[in-house]
Structure 1
Amino acid sequence: MESLNALLQGMGLMHLGAGQAIMLLVSLLLLWLAIAKKFEPLLLLPIGFGGLLSNIPEAGMALTALESLLAHHDAGQLAVIAAKLNCAPDVHAIKEALALALPSVQSQMENLAVDMGYTPGVLALFYKVAIGSGVAPLVIFMGVGAMTDFGPLLANPRTLLLGAAAQFGIFATVLGALTLNYFGLIAFTLPQAAAIGIIGGADGPTAIYLSGKLAPELLGAIAVAAYSYMALVPLIQPPIMKALTTETERKIRMVQLRTVSKREKILFPVVLLLLVALLLPDAAPLLGMFCFGNLMRESGVVERLSDTVQNGLINIVTIFLGLSVGAKLVADKFLQPQTLGILLLGVIAFGIGTAAGVLMAKLLNLCSKNKINPLIGSAGVSAVPMAARVSNKVGLESDPQNFLLMHAMGPNVAGVIGSAIAAGVMLKYVLAM
């Protein structure tokens, strides 16, 4: 009988909490969206599966060594940790002390847990290597750079302003998060508000990179919101675009783009990196990897490297990035009022970014002979190339012969640059406070 009781106690179902059950359902929902609806499947599928693994009771796959120690509830071991942190020897007090501790102290406690015989779960290791170090989003950015053609942007430099305007959604969302905190609706710190704001850039790797630096506890919710809304761009943007433009404006036919020389394409990533990084060093990691990937593509002398970055490397890193994000889909971090705020602010950020790009295009038309179709302004959010395709689709609805795709790619790639710069601004000023 005792053996049967021990067997039952060893089953995960006996330890399944309500929070874990809810998160298992959330993870299954992400898998359904990825497989059945094809919503950003390259990321949502590994994120959803990582969420399943993270919430299996007693498996501890997403727990660090220290978290495993706290989950074990050994009084002697808790007393040792509490003595180091000068707090009461109970799990709640230790967690509060760790939240206020310096990163160096947290690292010491993790090493102490390892010395006591605990090991981190495989997903926790993935997270530490892929996101904790910042490597995975940077490699993804390198791959995106290798797949990007700056030709449309160089052929029509004015579209850089459209990409810049679309970043207004980022900073407006930061203010929105701080406003919610000010009125006591949902508590957000400044670093958390900055991490949430980057959702407005519609750039998944940048959102993961910045939240990993500023608000790791919100990374799961931010990543899910960012990629979900990127997949919903064809639903979110068109109503805003149509509301802010007239039928006549949507029918504007733009001048055919000039041919961009190979020399221009080679020089641009180098000049861009130097100009931005020398003024804003905090943007150098993201923008540097992006420009390096693009230089490999345009130089034409390292085709093997360019092909590897565009295909094999980015695919491998995407797997580990998704599983690492899934490691943060645990109940105590995800099932919070903040998650609802993130989802709400995320869609508002997309809307503001879309509107700002369209309005900037209309403003440029007031002082320009060669008119810009305002629809391409919405492509300033950096969901490449989906936002550009949406601009083209809405334009074709008004004029079946008006093809805007290549024109829209200009602000689209400008949005990628803009989101990287915005992330650099956030890092510089938020970490300095």
Structure 2
Amino acid sequence: MSIINSFLDTMASLASQSGFAGFLVDGGWKNIIMILISFVFMYLAIAKGFEPLLLLPISFGMLLTNLPYAEMYHPDFWNYKTVAGNDHYIDYGQILQKGGLLDILYMGVKLQIYPPLIFLGIGAMTDFGPLIASPKSFLMGAAAQGGIFFTFIGAALFGMSAAECGSIAIIGGADGPTSIYVSSRLLTSNSNIGVGTIALAAYTYMALVPIIQPPIMKALTTKKERSVVMGQLRPVSKVEKLIFPILVTIVISLMVPSAAPLVGMLMFGNLLKESGVCDRLVKTAQNELMNIITIFLGVTVGATTQADKIMNIQFAEVMALGVVAFSIGTACGVLLGKLMYVLSGHKINPLIGSAGVSAVPMAARISQKVGQQEVPTNYLLMHAMGPNVAGVIGSAVAAGVLLTIVR
């Protein structure tokens, strides 16, 4: 009889400690909803192809972190502690000793390691030739960052803290790694929103570029403007391509030191590519390194999406302000394109201004697509790539500005 009782006690103990029991405790229903939401994002990534390289890891990280008692990620370990009046201290020793797998990997986000390495890979894959050939593209890339700063003000009107305003506003740059970089620097454990919330919003709107941008582009331009056929870009010499990343690194790092990690790694990757003497390093940056960091970044950011950070009014506000930021950024780029259309004597198609958001190369392809709806033989892609890659640099600079004024 004692053996039977012991067996029953053991089974009861196992049942009470199982993840299934975790769903029955207070608030467990929220975990179920979050798991279902993760399934939706998996569907969008796999079936619809919405930013699958990061959306799929993020959604799976969301699944893992909402499984009761999995012990892979401990949000309490990431609470900021106050030491001698400094409330920006995290006990990394505790994380290394007691943390789960995702806690360990998430250190790469909080220590701002992953986003700059992603920029290294982006730089190794980017051709800045169209931007060098048409330096005025810098202006459209800069204008498209207007959504960031307008939304910063809008978020403040919602009563959000400066750190939360900056984290939401950077979504307007349409650059996932930059959004993660800024939010991981600014948001603390006391914030009403988390890094995962910002990442979800950023990558959702990046995936929706083909849906969000065309109506704005058409509303702000005339048929005549959309029909402008631009001339061929001038050839860019190898010397120009070698000088460009070095010069940009120096100028931007001196102007906005906080942008140096992102811009520096972006330009370092590009210099490796353009040098022509580092093929092995370029291939590693473009493939193995980029892929590994993408997996780590995605799954750990997904791990921060606990139910209490997502199922609240703040998440709805982030999503609403995110689409406002992205839409204003697109509009600012197009409006500057219209101005340049006039100043150039009708030689610049204002549609390429919408590519100033840094969703590379999707935004440039949308400029091409909308332009060809008016003139099927029009080829705007290379012209749009100028503002597009300028937007990558612009979003990194905007990130540096936000970090400077907020922290």
**TM category, shorter:** over 0.9
Q: Deviations over 1:103-146 (max 9, x none)?
A: 46542xx65698xxx71111111101x20111111100000011
Task: Report the secondary structure of 2:230's partner residue.
Answer: coil
Residue 119 of structure 1 is matched in structure 2 by 98
For the residues of structure 1 that align with 2:178 and 2:80, how far apart are their CA atoms?
A: 29
Aligned match for 1:18, one of 12, 26, 29: 29
Task: Report the secondary structure of 1:131's partner residue.
Answer: helix
Aligned match for 1:419, one of 382, 390, 395: 395
Residues 1:363 and 2:374 aligned together: no
TM-score by length of 1: 0.87
For the residues of structure 2 that align with 1:254 and 1:418, how far apart are their CA atoms?
A: 24
Relative distance call for 1:327 and 1:103 in structure 2 (3 A) is farther
Residues 1:28 and 2:53 aligned together: no
For the residues of structure 2 that align with 1:428 and 1:258, how far apart are their CA atoms?
A: 37
Residue 203 of structure 2 is matched in structure 1 by 227
Residues 1:54 and 2:62 aligned together: no
Deviation at 1:66, TM superposition (A): 4.0
Relative distance call for 1:101 and 1:390 in structure 2 (3 A) is farther
Residue 154 of structure 1 is matched in structure 2 by 132
Residue 41 of structure 1 is matched in structure 2 by 52
Q: Deviations over 1:234-263 (max 9, x none)?
A: 000000000001111000011210001110
For the residues of structure 1 that align with 2:43 and 2:85, how far apart are their CA atoms?
A: 39
Q: Is the 8 A contact 1:255 1:370 kept in 2?
A: no
Residue 3 of structure 2 is matched in structure 1 by none
Residue type matched to 1:283 in 2?
A
Residue type matched to 1:378 in 2?
S
Paired residues, number: 392
For the residues of structure 2 that align with 1:100 and 1:219, how far apart are their CA atoms?
A: 26
Relative distance call for 1:195 and 1:113 in structure 2 (3 A) is closer
Aligned match for 2:16, one of 9, 23, 36: 9
Aligned match for 1:391, one of 367, 383, 393: 367
Greater CA deviation, 118-127 or 394-403?
118-127
Aligned match for 2:86, one of 98, 102, 122: 102
Residues 1:170 and 2:148 aligned together: yes
For the residues of structure 1 that align with 2:36 and 2:256, how far apart are their CA atoms?
A: 42
Residue 142 of structure 1 is matched in structure 2 by 120
Residues 1:251 and 2:235 aligned together: no
Relative distance call for 1:96 and 1:18 in structure 2 (3 A) is farther
Relative distance call for 1:152 and 1:321 in structure 2 (3 A) is same
Residue type matched to 2:152 in 1?
V
Deviation at 1:336, TM superposition (A): 2.2
For the residues of structure 2 that align with 1:146 and 1:256, how far apart are their CA atoms?
A: 25
For the residues of structure 2 that align with 1:50 and 1:9, how far apart are their CA atoms?
A: 25
Relative distance call for 1:60 and 1:143 in structure 2 (3 A) is same
For the residues of structure 2 that align with 1:322 and 1:170, how far apart are their CA atoms?
A: 23
Task: Report the secondary structure of 2:98's partner residue.
Answer: coil
For the residues of structure 2 that align with 1:160 and 1:228, how far apart are their CA atoms?
A: 26
Residues 1:269 and 2:240 aligned together: no
Relative distance call for 1:54 and 1:266 in structure 2 (3 A) is same
For the residues of structure 2 that align with 1:47 and 1:241, how far apart are their CA atoms?
A: 30
For the residues of structure 1 that align with 2:9 and 2:187, how far apart are their CA atoms?
A: 46
Q: Is the 8 A contact 1:159 1:410 kept in 2?
A: yes
Task: Report the secondary structure of 1:371's partner residue.
Answer: coil
Relative distance call for 1:23 and 1:365 in structure 2 (3 A) is same
Residue type matched to 1:5 in 2?
A
Residue 213 of structure 1 is matched in structure 2 by 185
For the residues of structure 2 that align with 1:100 and 1:330, how far apart are their CA atoms?
A: 30
Residue 174 of structure 2 is matched in structure 1 by 202
Q: Is the 8 A contact 1:23 1:51 kept in 2?
A: yes
Q: Is the 8 A contact 1:392 1:408 kept in 2?
A: yes
Residue type matched to 1:194 in 2?
G
Deviation at 1:3, TM superposition (A): 2.7
For the residues of structure 2 that align with 1:406 and 1:196, how far apart are their CA atoms?
A: 31
For the residues of structure 2 that align with 1:220 and 1:290, how far apart are their CA atoms?
A: 23
Deviation at 1:100, TM superposition (A): 12
For the residues of structure 2 that align with 1:211 and 1:104, how far apart are their CA atoms?
A: 14
Q: Deviations over 1:184-225 (max 9, x none)?
A: xxxx21011101101000001100111110015521011011
Residue type matched to 2:53 in 1?
L
For structure 2, the 5+ residue unaligned runs are 1-7
Relative distance call for 1:240 and 1:246 in structure 2 (3 A) is same
Deviation at 1:280, TM superposition (A): 1.2
Relative distance call for 1:406 and 1:112 in structure 2 (3 A) is closer
Task: Report the secondary structure of 1:366's partner residue.
Answer: helix
For structure 1, the 5+ residue unaligned runs are 68-94, 182-187
Residue 184 of structure 1 is matched in structure 2 by none
